[in-house]
Chain A
Amino acid sequence: MDDCRIIELYNARDEEALSASAEKYGRYCYSVAQNILSDRQDCEECVNDTWFNAWNAIPPQQPRSLKLFFARITRNLSFNRFKASQRLKRGGGEICSVMEEIGEFLSDGTRVEDSLEEEILLQLIHVFLRSLPRRECDMFVRRYFYVDTTKILAVRYGMGEDAVLRSLSRTRQKLKRYLEEEGYTL
């Protein structure tokens, strides 16, 4: 079923939208969750919650890309569950490595961020990413949005794992340098 038809079902409050979503994007959303959560049950619950959240969001939201819309919801839900599990000292998957990497160029200070400052940061990140060669940008996105493991990235881009790590490290350093030059303190 194409995305337009699925959205129409959501708009019509037809519960077939949920089964259609699950059928088309269930495995995809599960993989998004799995990159963040190591527990299978947690992943399944997050995916199921994705459809519930989508049901509540559409309408009024009319996503242009249903796939990304679901991916973002699943990612958010999975990360919230991860944060909860961290408080309970339960183990995490690849997300732990990702958090450590992000921590390399961010301080964990108690500075209060306001929404305007975050908006500026987001704009800067967009400018930075769009200036990168495609592969470098894609790799950054796949690591810090999709939480792909370095092994998966190595296979995807035909590189060694060490090369992936080095490439990501350099991109992080470049981002940090760029943000500092733009006067954005982290």
Chain B
Amino acid sequence: MKRERFFELMNQLDDDLLLRADELEAKPVRKKNFYIVWGAVAACLCILALSSALILPGNSPQPPVDSSPTTSVIVNHTPVPLDHSAAFGQLSGSSLAYVKGSSTSLSSTSSSPPLYRFNSANFVVRVKAVDALPDEYYELDVSSEKSPTAYRLVVCDVLEVIHGELEISQFLFQISSYLYVDFTQYDSLIISLSHVGVSDYYVLRNKVQNRMESFSLPVFSSHNPQLGNVIAFSDGVLDETFWQNKGWRGGDFLSRGLKDMWNGDLVAYRGCSETETVEILQRCIATRIATTGEAYVPPVFLSADFEDEDARAALAYVKPFDNGVFSQSRRVNPKGNTELVFCRYANGCQTEETVIIDLVTEEVTYSEVRYTEEDFSSMEDLGFHIAKAADQYRQQIPTPPRVDPEGKNLRTLCLYGWYAKVDGKVYGVIKTVWVYEVFSDGGMTATRWYDDTYVLYDGAEGTATFIVREDLIALIGNRNIYRGEYNAAKLIPMC
């Protein structure tokens, strides 16, 4: 067909396409309701129907037979650019897709009783659960080594602060889905809390709606909640029905009989009143302070209210959806100060860009690598490729390059993607991971084998190539890259 004829043919496009293209694009309106700030819907899913997925030769990713580090196999690949029609940063997607493998689950057989771990930097509060967000969420920082945990978010009104400096009236309680019960049915709960996310800046991925969301309430979780760090009361008395959910250590807790008022570690007993539990807790905390022999600093609620202008500018930089999506985590730096670490995500996949704010000194550290809106226009849509490949693998398990699967069980097959920027150029990497295992000694030990492949995406060139580990490390460094031995059996005791 001559190009002129094609141009003339365009005259026959449907009216609605022509009229729509003539409209001025409306700016996305961010609607802030009582406790949720929405992200935009992932538009990348719209191109799923037409765009070609990562097509691997023979549907099995095969690295070169020649294990020379300089050899690579070109993958038959149609570039799938990151959909820039979604507002910058309002991107969804996921870095991780599990084809086979189970979620992290409670596997401890310890018979130690539930404890209040108030010797860690936790708040202890008495709350009333008033609502729960309907969807499940994932944290952005997921590892390729285990299936991510889904969380529910419960809205809690603070009735009393038992330990710690906490001047908030409401927060979101982040609890693993497998532990979730309808908390609102109880008159009150006593929870030992860890502060997870500063309000407005904490971003999670909505599992159901596949979009990023931030929240206008601070988010807390509980360290090992199944070990008794959440206790329910109804009509002022301990409510044992709380432990009926199979995820909780109800068996262990109830097996103690709940008869002893306080045998040194339990803070509640069968039939005890809420008032008594609060008194026991306060006694335990006082004893802890008295016996530690050092200053026991109760936790202080750390908000993002900075005085330093640079710190405020850093917060503005990481504000969700204004300049992208950032995960938020806390850690203690070498000075002993707690710091907030924000890590940029694109399409649900981690980049190496970070912004770190020391919460004590308010000092800000930006990573050397910074991503710009320009970078987004040349990035490959890794989330799309991951999802598509995972679908293909569910139909047919790909053969690992080194491990002989004969006689072995496939324990894990997953894909994990991330971005790296080198000399101004953005690359994407998708790692496919196999873990095979064989049980022996009547199931008392397992032997496992690890294998993986890496595909390097060059958005600017529109290419996807298999790349061996050594070449990849030379190009982007060793972040997220397996450093162990290949095809080496590892003996894992099962108990």
Chain A residues with CB under 8 Å of chain B are 64-65, 67-68, 71-72, 75-76, 79, 83, 98-99, 102-103, 106-109, 111, 113, 118, 121-122, 125-126, 128-139, 141-142, 144-146, 156-157, 159-160, 162-163, 166-167, 170, 173-174, 177-178, 186
Does B192 interact with chain A (Cβ within 8 Å)? no
- Shortest distance between the CB of B211 and any CB in chain A (Å): 15
Report chain A residues within 8 Å CB of B25.
135, 138, 156-157
Q: Considering only CB atoms, which chain B residue lies closest to A136 in the complex?
A: B85
Most buried by A among B15, B18, B43: B18
Q: Considering only CB atoms, which chain A residue lies closest to B81 in the complex?
A: A170
Report chain B residues within 8 Å CB of A98.
7
* Pairwise interchain contact A178-B1, C-beta atoms closer than 8 A: no
Contacting chain A: which of B48-56, B234-242, B480-488? B48-56
* Pairwise interchain contact B81-A106, C-beta atoms closer than 8 A: no
19 further A-B contacts with Cβ under 8 Å, apart from A109-B1, A160-B377, A173-B79, are A68-B18, A98-B7, A99-B4, A103-B3, A106-B3, A107-B1, A113-B5, A126-B17, A131-B49, A133-B47, A136-B83, A136-B85, A137-B17, A137-B20, A144-B10, A145-B11, A156-B24, A163-B374, A174-B78
* Pairwise interchain contact B20-A186, C-beta atoms closer than 8 A: no
- Shortest distance between the CB of A49 and any CB in chain B (Å): 16
Does B29 interact with chain A (Cβ within 8 Å)? no
* Pairwise interchain contact B462-A122, C-beta atoms closer than 8 A: no
B7 in complex: contacting residue of A102, A113, A139, A159, CB < 8 Å: A102
Does B21 interact with chain A (Cβ within 8 Å)? yes
* Pairwise interchain contact A108-B78, C-beta atoms closer than 8 A: no
Q: Considering only CB atoms, which chain B residue lies closest to A185 in the complex?
A: B1
Does B208 interact with chain A (Cβ within 8 Å)? no
* Pairwise interchain contact A134-B20, C-beta atoms closer than 8 A: yes
* Pairwise interchain contact A126-B85, C-beta atoms closer than 8 A: no
* Pairwise interchain contact B15-A68, C-beta atoms closer than 8 A: yes
Bound complex: CA A143 to CA B18 (Å):
11
Bound complex: CA A154 to CA B17 (Å):
20
Q: Binding site of A, secondary structure by majority: helix, strand, loop or mixed? A: helix
Bound complex: CA A133 to CA B5 (Å):
26
Does B14 interact with chain A (Cβ within 8 Å)? yes
Against A, the Cβ 8 Å flags (1 = close, 0 = not) of B371-410 are 0011001100000000000000000000000000000000
Once A113-B1, A170-B81 are accepted as A-B contacts, the answer to whether A177 and B52 lie under 8 Å apart by CB is yes
Report chain A residues within 8 Å CB of B7.
79, 98-99, 102, 144
B21 in complex: contacting residue of A72, A106, A145, CB < 8 Å: A145
- Interchain residue pairs A-B with the least CB separation, the first 10: A135-B85, A163-B377, A141-B21, A138-B21, A102-B3, A133-B85, A133-B43, A131-B50, A133-B46, A103-B3
- Shortest distance between the CB of B185 and any CB in chain A (Å): 43
Most buried by B among A64, A68, A107, A142: A68
Bound complex: CA A125 to CA B85 (Å):
20
Report chain B residues within 8 Å CB of A174.
50-51, 78
Does B12 interact with chain A (Cβ within 8 Å)? yes
Report chain A residues within 8 Å CB of B9.
118, 121-122, 125
Report chain A residues within 8 Å CB of B32.
none
Bound complex: CA A102 to CA B12 (Å):
16
- Shortest distance between the CB of B315 and any CB in chain A (Å): 24
Bound complex: CA A2 to CA B207 (Å):
48
A106 in complex: contacting residue of B6, B49, B50, CB < 8 Å: B6
Report chain A residues within 8 Å CB of B12.
122
Bound complex: CA A186 to CA B55 (Å):
24
Report chain B residues within 8 Å CB of A163.
84, 374, 377-378
A131 in complex: contacting residue of B2, B47, B81, CB < 8 Å: B47
* Pairwise interchain contact A186-B1, C-beta atoms closer than 8 A: yes
Bound complex: CA A71 to CA B374 (Å):
33
Report chain A residues within 8 Å CB of B3.
99, 102-103, 106, 108
Bound complex: CA A40 to CA B460 (Å):
38
Against A, the Cβ 8 Å flags (1 = close, 0 = not) of B22-62 are 10110000000000000000011011011110000000000
Does B8 interact with chain A (Cβ within 8 Å)? yes
Report chain B residues within 8 Å CB of A138.
20-21, 25
Once A71-B18, A163-B374 are accepted as A-B contacts, the answer to whether A170 and B4 lie under 8 Å apart by CB is no
- Shortest distance between the CB of B234 and any CB in chain A (Å): 50
Does B106 interact with chain A (Cβ within 8 Å)? no
* Pairwise interchain contact A129-B85, C-beta atoms closer than 8 A: no
Most buried by A among B10, B44, B462: B10
Report chain B residues within 8 Å CB of A133.
43-44, 46-47, 83, 85-86
Report chain A residues within 8 Å CB of B17.
126, 129-130, 137, 141
Does B19 interact with chain A (Cβ within 8 Å)? yes
Does B13 interact with chain A (Cβ within 8 Å)? yes
A128 in complex: contacting residue of B50, B84, B378, CB < 8 Å: B50
- Shortest distance between the CB of B44 and any CB in chain A (Å): 8
